Chains A and B, each alone.
Chain A
């Protein structure tokens, strides 16, 4: 057993863990943070993605002991303290970018990392940036729309002056699929 201390979604934990315990099982089985699911055993699907010290990682391929001294953010820690959703959470909802929702935590965490590195991606850059995350329900098109919408919103939020024009086309919400 190894002693680790790790901060998860703002709460500090100290635990004795088996050295082989995967971070995702530590989150799910020890801390009860079941918002992060496990979708595969070969690091392909990305459903288990979390943020570890500012980078998105697949928590099925990180040992809990490797997170010792670190800070983890999961899907459950994304909303603000007063419960306001992260722009990506809102955009996934508004663009119908989830159906069963199993890939959604990982998809949102990966998209968050993507937008940190590239706040104004093209649709192709979004598709390539999410290569490590599989979704079986949506066909990805609405996920791309959602990430672009969240990016636009974040840029608007951070724009130095009003009326700043987005460089890339914003996703269409017109037509029969427009949410209300």
Chain B
């Protein structure tokens, strides 16, 4: 749509190619591992080969004899200057909060727990010297199974705490669940397992710590999503005063939650730089990262769904066990609770009962992974809706229709206590069904079944919503989170007419530089090309809450919008003076202030900026700047939704799954850049499908990570994934001025249940009611074999 008066096409809504790309496609990148400074030393970290053991003796002195080795430290050597790594989300008053030293002192609690640090002149020398370190371990029993860990007499991950139970967090809303269940015609019970996943951002983590420079600040470069949070937390952990610490997230190669973390290696880097007065670098190898970078998901979900015979939901009961791993990282305990409010999904019901118990095990800690709590919740309810449809012999779309919130019922306060501001599930679903060819596929499915085709067709439905825009700070207070959920932006109007946007978000692939330029350009009426967006450096952008949880656009993008509006408001005062008119008599459009009725009397916003630069002619008391900043604390979460449909062909002889088609219609509200949105959806789908079909972090009974390299953990490649058919409906959010809802996690949240529902749908006529993720050929083959042996009258085993 073009502005009728000016002919200027709005930037918001345009598929702008990204400003970020030029450096990235030509290799002129600035990854943390690229950074070098004079005198740089390299850190290598010796890690525990055992899941659980006491360190009886450790001697790093032989490493010091190795060529090029400058220093070597045990956990005890470093403990003096380093506190425990922080957990910012103590979800209950009585939560068990174990100590978490960056380098283990007396005891190791997962394979990969750091035990010693070597500092050498190059990365090869540092790695070589690790083998010279002597460690005597006294093995302790590993704790690997959550249910066994909670049983009386289980070995303990943290003996001083007397329990492996980290916390229990209950929520009960609506009517009493037990009473509601009495009324039910159907009560379904299922156990689903969210397997442990490894996030696998393509850029391994890296840290460069530089001792104080001319500004007397330490500089920490880190491949992180959260430079601002890291700064605060590193000040606490290392004792370096916050104002003497600068944290920079340079080019960051993906995160997916794995770089939403405050890591021991960041503390180690600063501690070593402080001890030696030399800059140091640590870069993880991929296999090291599989042990040292946090994992995701890992929940056992016990679910009970009560419904009437005609398919109306009455109540939902959720009992979760959530694996914390060995320690609590920055938001480990809170991740399952991000799902607590989302298990009811888009559906109406009378009672909801939720309990989550966090459990310590001797595994790598878990924490946020794309979707963080919401994929687990969505998986559970969407699988249950299909189970209910099957139980009642009802179409799986129809059972959803009977229960979802109607488009005319918004705003709607759910049983989980969230108020969904807007949505149109009917519209997204109808569009998706048409694109998918739902009826034709159902018909083909029946034909294949009738003729006993060994390759069965399955259709999976997932009608999801999620909560984005983390987060209204008061809600975070109520959830006992340790910080607010605001985001900051400031805008500098430069004398030459160019514009700098400083954002507290910290993009690592999301294209904020492009999208924020579009937002600012529209409000200010300046060319897209004249806007630069700066981020990821606490010296440049002193205030920020960083990037995770699909929050950046909804909170940070809105902050940019509002900061730009403040610039215009300030500029209006100056323009009124320059044009000798009253503020009320000024129009502002397309970057130009003009006097109503006298279109020849005008000033561009750039001219106004220059007038404040010279300041030669400003009225008394008017501050000579039109720069502005805004800190946005969202009033509510936002609720993107959509309908995802997946058709799979399952070869019942080999267990192989082929995704035949995948259609999704997402409603992410207003869209700033449709190309970027589509890209986010694609990538999200790939990760959600990967959980359904390919990926799992597997531990053996000793607690070794068996899927410990990229050769053993199946990150899908191009040949493993299909083309996606994506489309959108657009129901604007009513809780922010841009009408945006967030899109970073939608694809991941929606797709996992769509795929698994499709796999189960294909096999249900053969007696299969569930397949544990990932639905590998082996698991499908076994599920079919078990189903056959459970129904001997229908065939041989």
Contacts and interface: CB of A to CB of B under 8 A. Distances in A.
A128 B366 CA distance: 33
B683 A176 contact: no
Interface in B453-495: none
Contacts of B24: 98, 101, 104
A37 B25 CA distance: 12
A19 B254 CA distance: 33
Contacts of B286: 39-42, 44-45
B202 A100 contact: yes
B287 interface: yes
Contacts of B563: none
Contact of B26 (A45, A89, A142): A89
Contacts, number: 208
B27 A140 contact: no
A131 B683 CA distance: 17
A44 B712 CA distance: 10
Grouping DSSP codes into helix (H, G, I), strand (E, B) and loop, the A interface class, with mixed when no group exceeds half, is loop
Given A41-B709, A100-B253, A139-B686, A144 B718 contact: yes
A89 B23 CA distance: 11
Contacts of A1: none
Contact of A100 (B25, B203, B728): B203
Contact of B718 (A37, A74, A140, A180): A140
A137 B728 contact: no
Nearest to A128: B719
Given A123-B723, A136-B687, A102 B253 contact: yes
A93 B719 contact: no
A149 to B, nearest CB: 13
A138 B20 contact: no
A139 B34 contact: no
Interface string B19-31: 0111111111101
A20 B124 contact: yes
Contacts of A96: 17-18, 675-676, 678-679
A67 interface: no
Interface string A68-96: 00000011101100000100010011101
A18 B124 contact: yes
Interface residues of A, number: 65
A15 B123 CA distance: 19
Given A75-B26, A142-B679, A103 B202 contact: yes
Given A18-B124, A176-B728, A92 B710 contact: no
Given A100-B253, A177-B674, A76 B26 contact: yes
B200 interface: yes
B241 to A, nearest CB: 32
A139 B682 contact: yes
Nearest to B251: A101
A105 B252 CA distance: 15
Nearest to B24: A101
Interface in B661-704: 671, 674-676, 678-680, 682-687
Contacts of A62: none
B536 to A, nearest CB: 13
Interface in A28-77: 28-29, 32-45, 47, 74-76
A85 B25 contact: yes
A101 B21 contact: yes
Contact of A101 (B29, B674, B676, B682): B29
B254 A41 contact: no
Interface stretch (B503-511, B621-629, B734-742): B503-511
A141 interface: yes
A177 B718 contact: no
Contact of B715 (A21, A47, A136): A136
A29 B40 CA distance: 12
Nearest to A134: B715
Contacts of B124: 18, 20-21, 25
Contacts of A108: 25
Contacts of B684: 139
B25 A42 contact: no
Nearest to B708: A42
B521 to A, nearest CB: 14
Contacts of B717: 130-134, 140
B27 A102 contact: no
Nearest to B751: A139
Interface string B28-62: 11010110100000000000000000000000000
A140 to B, nearest CB: 4
A108 to B, nearest CB: 7
A100 B686 contact: no
Contact of A75 (B27, B679, B719, B727): B27
Contacts of A2: none
B358 interface: no
A178 interface: yes
B21, B26, B28, B204, most chain A CB atoms within 10 A: B26
Contacts of B200: 136
Contact of A177 (B15, B21, B122): B15
A127 interface: yes
A25 B790 CA distance: 57
A39 B286 CA distance: 7
A25 B285 CA distance: 13
A73 to B, nearest CB: 11
Contact of A179 (B15, B26, B27, B715): B15
A123 B718 CA distance: 10
A133 B201 CA distance: 14
Contacts of A33: 27
A8 interface: no
B256 interface: yes
Given A93-B17, A96-B18, A99-B510, A35 B679 contact: no
B711 interface: yes
A176 B29 contact: no
A104 B203 CA distance: 11
Nearest to A46: B717
B683 A99 contact: yes
A41 B287 contact: yes
A126 interface: yes
Contacts of A78: 26
Interface string B192-204: 0000000011111
Given A47-B202, A98-B25, A127 B679 contact: no
B721 interface: yes
Contacts of A76: 26-28
B26 A99 contact: no
A20 B201 CA distance: 28
A93 B718 contact: no
A135 interface: yes
B29 to A, nearest CB: 6
Contacts of B676: 96
A11 B253 CA distance: 28
A40, A96, A136, most chain B CB atoms within 10 A: A136
A37 B674 CA distance: 29
A141 B31 contact: no
A137 B26 contact: no
Interface string B311-355: 000000000000000000000000000000000000000000000
Contact of B16 (A99, A144, A179): A179
Contacts of A127: 718-719, 721
29 contacts: A34-B27, A35-B29, A38-B283, A39-B202, A40-B710, A42-B287, A74-B27, A79-B26, A96-B17, A96-B675, A96-B676, A99-B680, A100-B201, A100-B251, A101-B21, A101-B251, A101-B253, A104-B25, A127-B721, A134-B715, A137-B509, A137-B679, A138-B683, A140-B682, A144-B718, A144-B723, A176-B674, A176-B728, A180-B14
Interface of A: 18, 20-21, 25, 28-29, 32-45, 47, 74-76, 78-79, 85, 89, 92-94, 96, 98-105, 108, 123, 126-128, 130-144, 176-180
Nearest first, the 3 A-B pairs at minimum CB distance are: A35-B27, A101-B24, A102-B253
Given A42-B287, A100-B254, A138-B679, 11 more contacts: A28-B34, A34-B31, A37-B253, A41-B285, A41-B710, A42-B709, A102-B31, A131-B718, A177-B675, A179-B17, A180-B17
